[in-house]
Amino acid sequence: MIIRVFRPTIHPGKEHEFETFLGDTAVPLVSQQAGLVAQHVGRPRDPSSTEYVYVTVWEDVESIRAFAGERWQEADAKLSQTHTYCRQAHRRSLPSRSTSTNSSTS
């Protein structure tokens, strides 16, 4: 599995526009992709921050490549340049190893 973490920093005042884009366009589009295991969107906890996080989990690199193309490692940077509400973005792709833990909460 591959975990992709996209951390865009949004221009102040553009947060609602960005959240609308995520809810109406990005999340539904990615949801339809073969090989997607999960996706999660996180909003800033700090009211003074405009940094979001968008995490996608994919079965393998081939699944990401089928969706984003041969230059899939650059796709999020292109997204941030395309939309006027993104000030900057950071992306990381990490291999994932499935682990099981048996833990109990006391």
Q: Is residue 105 domain-resident?
A: no
Closest CA to 6 of 95, 88, 91, 73: 91
Q: Is residue 104 domain-resident?
A: no
Which pLDDT band holds residue 86 (cuts at 50, 70, 90)? Answer: low
Q: Is residue 44 domain-resident?
A: yes
pLDDT tens readout for residues 22-80: 899 889 999 999 999 999 999 999 989 999 999 999 999 999 999 888 877 775 554 55
Cα separation, 89 vs 58, whole angstroms: 20
Q: Is residue 25 domain-resident?
A: yes
Domains of the chain: total: 1
Q: Is residue 103 domain-resident?
A: no
Q: Is residue 75 domain-resident?
A: yes
User: Which CATH number do you get for residue 32?
Assistant: 3.30.70.100
pTM of this structure: 0.73
Q: Is residue 38 domain-resident?
A: yes
Which pLDDT band holds residue 84 (cuts at 50, 70, 90)? Answer: low
Domain range for 56: 2-95
Q: Is residue 102 domain-resident?
A: no
